[in-house]
Amino acid sequence: MVSARASGLPRWVLVPAAAGALFIVLPLVALASRVQWGSFWSLITSDSSREALLLSLRTSAAATVLCVLLGVPMALVLARTSFRGQGLLRSLVLLPLVLPPVVGGIALLYTFGRKGLLGETIDVLGLQIAFSTTAVVIAQTFVSLPFLVVSLEGTLRTAGQRYETVAATLGARPTTVLRRVTLPLVLPGLAAGAVLSFARALGEFGATITFAGSLEGVTRTLPLEIYLQRESNPDAAVALSLVLVVVAVLVIGLVRGTRGVSA
Amino acid sequence: MVSARASGLPRWVLVPAAAGALFIVLPLVALASRVQWGSFWSLITSDSSREALLLSLRTSAAATVLCVLLGVPMALVLARTSFRGQGLLRSLVLLPLVLPPVVGGIALLYTFGRKGLLGETIDVLGLQIAFSTTAVVIAQTFVSLPFLVVSLEGTLRTAGQRYETVAATLGARPTTVLRRVTLPLVLPGLAAGAVLSFARALGEFGATITFAGSLEGVTRTLPLEIYLQRESNPDAAVALSLVLVVVAVLVIGLVRGTRGVSA
Amino acid sequence: MTLRLTATVAERDVDVSLDVEDGRTVALLGPNGSGKSTVLSVVAGILRPDAGRATLAGTTLFDVAAGTWVPPHERGTGLLAQDPLLFPHLDALDNVAFGPRSAGARRGAARETARTWLGRVDAAELAGRRPSELSGGQAQRVAIARALAADPRLLLLDEPMAALDITVVPAMRQVLRTVLRGRSAVIVTHDVLDALLLADHVVVMEAGRVVEQGPTKDVLARPRSTFGAGIAGLNLARGTTDGGGVRTAGGLLVAGIHDDETVPDGVAAVAVFSPGAVGVHRERPGGSPRNVFAATVRELEPRGSQVRIRTDEVAADVTAPVVAELDLAPGTEVFLAVKASEVAIYRA
Amino acid sequence: MTLRLTATVAERDVDVSLDVEDGRTVALLGPNGSGKSTVLSVVAGILRPDAGRATLAGTTLFDVAAGTWVPPHERGTGLLAQDPLLFPHLDALDNVAFGPRSAGARRGAARETARTWLGRVDAAELAGRRPSELSGGQAQRVAIARALAADPRLLLLDEPMAALDITVVPAMRQVLRTVLRGRSAVIVTHDVLDALLLADHVVVMEAGRVVEQGPTKDVLARPRSTFGAGIAGLNLARGTTDGGGVRTAGGLLVAGIHDDETVPDGVAAVAVFSPGAVGVHRERPGGSPRNVFAATVRELEPRGSQVRIRTDEVAADVTAPVVAELDLAPGTEVFLAVKASEVAIYRA
Amino acid sequence: GSSDDAAAGSSSDGPRETTLTVYAAASLKSSFTEIGAAFEKANPGVSVTFSFAGSADLVAQIQQGAPADVFASADTANMDKATADDLVEGTPADFATNTLEIATPPDNPADVDSLDDLADPDVTVVVCAAEVPCGAAAAGVEKAAGLDIRPVSEEQSVTDVLGKVISGEADAGLVYVTDVRGAGDKVAGVPIPESADVVNTYPIAALAGSRNPDVAKAFTAYVTGPEGRSILTAAGFGAP
Ligand SMILES: Nc1ncnc2c1ncn2[C@@H]1O[C@H](COP(=O)(O)OP(=O)(O)OP(=O)(O)O)[C@@H](O)[C@H]1O
Ligand SMILES: Nc1ncnc2c1ncn2[C@@H]1O[C@H](COP(=O)(O)OP(=O)(O)OP(=O)(O)O)[C@@H](O)[C@H]1O
Ligand SMILES: [Mg+2]
Ligand SMILES: [Mg+2]
């Protein structure tokens, strides 16, 4: 019944860990050092930048919610059941990761586009997906979903199902077990997965431009804006990237702070 | 001491899970249905495609190894120690995810390029990193590392450190504990993280083209080849994407098969 | 709530058949690994047997042949497993309230129930603690409260007294007596007192099979299995009838008094005698005792005013002065003598 | 390997000071939550105390004031925790071999050692099993083997006999006796027999403090703490001296024989008497016994040829015929009588 | 400094294996691959490798010391950046021009046959964003024609515009003549006379950091010369 932080890690682990941290942080520093701070403020507060940022935050949040709604059940099914073809399904779920995002966008066009697989169904429903903000959310969800599923499945397997069994013997129905035992126990893993998904959605570019297009205020998210700026004004692009980075740090920090991931 | 699969999931979980699976699988089906199978074979066996595929596999494998070497220590430090600024570091580690890959590539150029932060140091060492195959590996590692770190940290936290404590009381030094207890216990999570990293590296495009360029046989990986093909021959691009997908499924399946992730 | 169970779990080499009459408590005894927890798991529905069926109050819990399987939460059984496994994310109170809430009680009412149960197991002051902040015995008490609060039709308790300190065991036994009154229950225990004080019936398992069962008093007074005798604190020799005694597989003849004088030779039988009836000598005794065995002292266990001398096969109770006089210590070679009139022989 | 320990763990309200002389075994007794496991954790180095220091054979294990802290794996202490916590990814053999391997043995040699230890705890046939395939008692045996195989300088055992069936307990005690010979050890137990048979010294803890310590025989014969008396099976009344007896906080006067007649009134003292010396009556008895208490029977515990009658405060041992004659059952109102000559009074 | 030995290797000793690295805009991929092959045939011992990417990417890489010998840009703006940083050897030469055309799906579902039709709100139009060359050109054409086109999307590149048209998602898009030709029968082209006013120019230059300055110059000459010209013309490019 005793747990303690007394055991500790081997010291040498710090060396590769620091190397890894430097490997990620140095490029960010290099990026920051190239920003022309004089014009930074005016640049990032321009209408188009602000609108792109807000759009990015809205769509990424929506995509993360969708990822959680679809991804948690998928991870549960992969971790807690076994059926023929499960291995194949697990690999398929990973594919949006592998697919270059632009090709992912093409695939989405072929599916939800006007002449796509579901095009007619969608037309009948009177929905207009292409070139809309909905399309951005779909593209972001498509590329982010695997993150949540894969990382949550790993956590579920590591957590095991002993407590779920106990809950069942206490008369809890499967839904109750899920809500009151399984999910609270894997919360750190779920939070990690959601953060991954959110981050991936925030940075999404290729699938969005291919599937949703790029129109200010409707589909032009911050990464798209950064791309455009880069054509005419590389400095602005770098500055905007930093904004993206800072926003991401803030949002992630906020989520972590309120949900208490750091157990 | 009893564990069983008897408790089960609530049925309704299958509905969103199936929806999620469809959401991912349908676009892949749509993609496959558009491939012109007639010219498929000649297309994917062309010299440039083959070379790009092999290069992709080599570099992604190298990047995955690098990710494991750097990422496992990072995850350990994040999960098993606490220090001031840890939250900030954790957020920073996520940033390559958020950064649009092209901007990531620029950041890498600013760091490892000839005029970059480390440019002179690297020049003195007589190394030429940018625009070489090494650069591809660096770009892929940069974008993939966060996946491994974040998903492994979640698993480490879920697993807790009770067994590590027991091992220490049995006289095991921290390195022994790490090797014989911690790592075996989180193997499912580590495998999941490595698979994520590999998949992300395989699909990496933006940072590579910016930082490493697109030289056939040296830096032109399959996603770059796909991108180029799309300029002239969109069908070829789709066909090549499918190749990427199939290769990814095979590699992931192989890794899973031998490592026994499905506990 | 009568339970009728037959089940086979091939992987663990367990094959049992067991009944619990309505309102009765059955004590399940047996050595480690004999399959006690396995039986409870099968009844609770967290382990699927390879064959068999079970009914509780007439409704089927499972029937392998018919393909019926009622999931654990619909069985009305409540299991206290061997490992407390308190939910780490809930405090003690919410752990105990989990059962009532799952049964549909509102949060406030469930917490009220939980508070009552925590009080009954003398753990009221632990209500706000997380499981990681409980000692082993405290966790066990909370786990007991959690199992009881779920108020199942059939209660399955796996070593409920484990980890409890001896000063609270009598009180806990009292609580269980009250709870078990009029309720069907199976209780796994290693303590004969639990069997005597809580159970009407005893079932003894060895190596996955039921080797003996019957009313508690009968089994403990006239055990037919080695383990039954061991837990009753009696010596038991198993063999076949041979004249006025039992001949063991080792060739030894234990003389005694037949239960039923008409039994022919060669029938499987056991000879049972109490440690108090065994005399200990340093020299081979002459005179009346018909049974004399050479043995080596393995252990001396003080028991109140007496000391139990354990040898490999037979135990003897003697008084402390005798121990001093004979200078007994582990390793001493002794002769053990039992009068035939103190040995009861009956069919196994 | 002399251990000297003083430690305070504020969060758990534990504040102890404890010595284990070289080669001796100390039994640590106490009610649930009294801090026994906490003490072992501090010594083993898996819990940092808020104050105090400890040395083992002269070398410092920790010294909070000086900021010294030796990590667990360098302490030479071995801990068998209350929860077996076998490594789930290793089979039983490799679990046991873990200690030797960590100490630098080669795989083959370590496995050989492990096999020997598994044999000694009667678990040789479990070598190839994963922990998830072991019963509770089997897992405990493997955990014992694992702790012993690590061959520490100071052995810390937390309830080693928990979950073991009573037929293997004597054998396991025998194993521990052999292992503990000449080795320093602390053993936490709820069983007085373990203390008697394995330990030279007894330390009794209550509510995070050491309330009593001394040679095993002394503590069990003349307990000064309620728990000490409880585990020794004796009745104890605590209060202050008052004439020829002890006056309890409740105002009751227990007459007895003073250890030391010169003790003045008003000194903290305990009155101790054995359950065998207590007479049970349905009517208030006249005549000689100076101490008569009214009480309600709570429980009847058969103990061999006798039955222990438990009331809220006092226990009495009577024979079975007496129980029948007086028609005793839980709830019966009785009078308990003890002759003053049977009550020993000494300073607490 | 490094250019001397490389030059020495290629100049006097006749046909030794020399590798020429050409950084070219992605839109030039088909024509430059063809030109490269022809150049190799004409110059035994020389092999040409290409790095194709967006012009902005290429400039950034050249600025960071990429080992390039020749740079062919899809617009003058990016070449100007290279010139401004003294990365170019001599002055860049214009080698091709390109003008806009309307691309529609083959069956032209919205019956687009002139620029005016694009202003019809019922027609789904995509164009390039003003920040990229094709977008600047589109804005120019729009202004010249005095129209107000409301696109549903302002794409980052011609390829993205074409993608939307090919998939049938958009009814029409404004792209370069060469792109319509390159897409074959996947799209139909509707020429627009107004485009003559807004011409996009492609410059090429040998780079200062080249290890094979002679070969680099030879290649630029080859591209601007008759052989290059004919291949480019075949792909739909105009003369500079
Ligand atoms: N998950 C499992 N897989 C395979 N065998 C198992 C598993 N769990 C237990 N066993 C084996 O099944 C047998 C019965 O185990 P069970 O846990 O029912 O014993 P038990 O009577 O409860 O013992 P204890 O008194 O030690 O708790 C044992 O031999 C054990 O090793
Ligand atoms: N992690 C913890 N955080 C805070 N308090 C704790 C923690 N673990 C135990 N405690 C408390 O510290 C006290 C001592 O606990 P400890 O585990 O040492 O008791 P113990 O004597 O071993 O009891 P038991 O016989 O039940 O095992 C108890 O009151 C317990 O509730
Ligand atoms: Mg068991
Ligand atoms: Mg404890």
Q: Are E140 and E198 in contact (CB under 8 A)?
A: yes
% of chain A with per-residue pLDDT over 70: 94
Residue B144 within any structural domain of the chain: yes
Q: Per DSSP, what are the bridge partners of residue E202?
A: E96
| pLDDT tens figures, C160-205 | 988 888 888 888 888 898 888 888 999 999 888 888 888 989 999 9
Nearest to residue E70, comparing CAs of E222, E175, E217, E239? E217
3-state secondary structure of E21: strand
Question: Mean pLDDT in chain C?
Answer: 88
Residue B1 within any structural domain of the chain: no
Closest residue, chain A, to D69 (C-alpha): A6
Tens of pLDDT along chain E (240 residues)? Answer: 333 443 333 444 445 688 899 999 888 888 999 999 999 999 998 999 888 888 888 888 888 788 899 999 988 888 998 999 899 988 999 999 999 999 999 998 889 888 888 888 888 899 988 888 888 888 888 888 888 888 888 888 888 888 888 888 889 999 999 888 888 888 899 998 888 888 889 999 999 988 889 999 999 999 999 999 999 999 889 888
* Count of domains forming chain D: 2
Residue A35 within any structural domain of the chain: no
D87, D158: one domain: yes
The C-alpha of D118 sits at a distance from chain B's nearest C-alpha, in angstroms, of 16
pLDDT at residue number D288: 60
Q: Which of C189, C208, C231 is the last residue of a domain?
A: C231
Residue B101 within any structural domain of the chain: yes
Considering only CB atoms, A213 lies closest to which of E60, E164, E168, namely: E164
Ranges of residues in chain B whose predicted pLDDT is under 70: 1-7, 255-263
Residue A222 within any structural domain of the chain: yes
Closest residue, chain C, to D34 (C-alpha): C135
Q: State the DSSP code for E239.
A: P
| pLDDT tens figures, E128-176 | 888 888 888 888 888 888 888 888 888 888 888 888 888 888 899 999 9
Phi/psi class of residue C266: alpha, beta or left (left: φ > 0; alpha: ψ in -120 to 50)?
Answer: left
Q: Are C99 and C109 in contact (CB under 8 A)?
A: no
C16, C33: one domain: yes
C26, C84: one domain: yes
Is D37 near ligand 2, meaning CB less than 6 Å away?
yes
> Strands D235-242 and D268-273: what pairing?
antiparallel
* Count of domains forming chain A: 1
D181, D311: one domain: no
Domain limits at C45? Answer: 3-231
Q: Which of D231, D254, D278 is the last residue of a domain?
A: D231
What is the band of A252 on the pLDDT scale with cuts at 50, 70, 90? confident
Residue B13 within any structural domain of the chain: no
Nearest to residue A165, comparing CAs of C72, B146, C93? C72
pLDDT of residue C3 exceeding 90: yes
Place of tokens 């012993």: D148
Tokens coding D117: 């230890």
Ligand 1 atom nearest to CA at D129: 31
The C-alpha of E152 sits at a distance from chain A's nearest C-alpha, in angstroms, of 6
> Strands E70-72 and E88-98: what pairing?
unpaired
Q: How many CA atoms lie within 13 A of D220 on its CB side?
A: 23
Q: Is D37 on the interface with A (CB under 8 A)?
A: yes
3-state secondary structure of B105: helix
D311, D187: one domain: no
Q: Quote the ipTM score.
A: 0.83
CATH, residue C64: 3.40.50.300
pLDDT of residue C116 exceeding 80: yes
Residue B187 within any structural domain of the chain: yes
* Strands across the sheet containing E70-72: E46-53, E18-25, E70-72, E200-207, E88-98
CATH, residue B69: 1.10.3720.10
C184-222 burial, b at 16+ Cβ within 10 Å, e below that, comes to bbbbbbbbbbbbbbbbbbbbbbbebebbbbbebeebbeb
CA nearest ligand 2 atom 16, residue: D35
Place of tokens 């208030």: D284
Distance CA B122, CA B114 (A): 8
C96, C143: one domain: yes
Distance CA A175, CA B245 (A): 36
* Other Cβ atoms closer than 10 A to A217: 12
Helix (H) or strand (E) holding C335: strand C333-338
C27, C120: one domain: yes
Distance CA E165, CA E158 (A): 11
DSSP for B185-238 reads HTHHHHHHHHHHHHHHHHH--HHHHHHT--BTTTT--HHHHHHHHHHH-HHHHH
CATH, residue C262: 2.40.50.100
Residue B50 within any structural domain of the chain: yes
D51, D176: one domain: yes
Q: Are E104 and E187 in contact (CB under 8 A)?
A: yes
Ligand 1, CB within 6 Å, residue ranges: B 1; C 11-12, 14, 30, 32-38, 82; D 132-138, 165
Alpha carbon of B1 to ligand 1 centroid (Å): 8
Cross-chain Cβ contact D41/A4 below 8 Å? yes
Alpha carbon of D57 to ligand 4 centroid (Å): 26
Q: Are C265 and C244 in contact (CB under 8 A)?
A: no
pLDDT at residue number C294: 87
C214, C252: one domain: no
C24, C133: one domain: yes
DSSP for D50-92 reads SEEEEEETTEEEEETTTTEE--GGGTTEEEE-SS----TTS-H
CB pairs under 8 A between A and B: 378
Nearest to residue B80, comparing CAs of B188, B195, B197, B183? B183
pLDDT at residue number A193: 87
B41-70 burial, b at 16+ Cβ within 10 Å, e below that, comes to eebbeeeebebbbebbbebbbbbbebbbeb
C268, C294: one domain: yes
Q: Which of D196, D214, D231 is the last residue of a domain?
A: D231
Domain limits at A157? Answer: 42-262
Distance CA A222, CA A251 (A): 15
pLDDT at residue number E13: 47
Tokens coding D65: 């004031």
Q: State the DSSP code for E14.
A: -
Alpha carbon of C160 to ligand 4 centroid (Å): 16
Helix axes A47-80, A86-98, angle to 10 degrees: 160
Distance CA C27, CA C203 (A): 6
D280, D183: one domain: no
* Alpha-carbon distance values, C230 to C200, C221, C234, D169, E156 (Å): 19, 11, 6, 11, 85
pLDDT of residue C7 exceeding 90: yes
Long-range contacts of C57-62 (CB under 8 A, 24+ apart): C57/C1, C57/C2, C57/C22, C57/C153, C58/C2
* Other Cβ atoms closer than 10 A to D241: 21
Q: Is A179 on the interface with C (CB under 8 A)?
A: no
Q: State the DSSP code for C249.
A: T
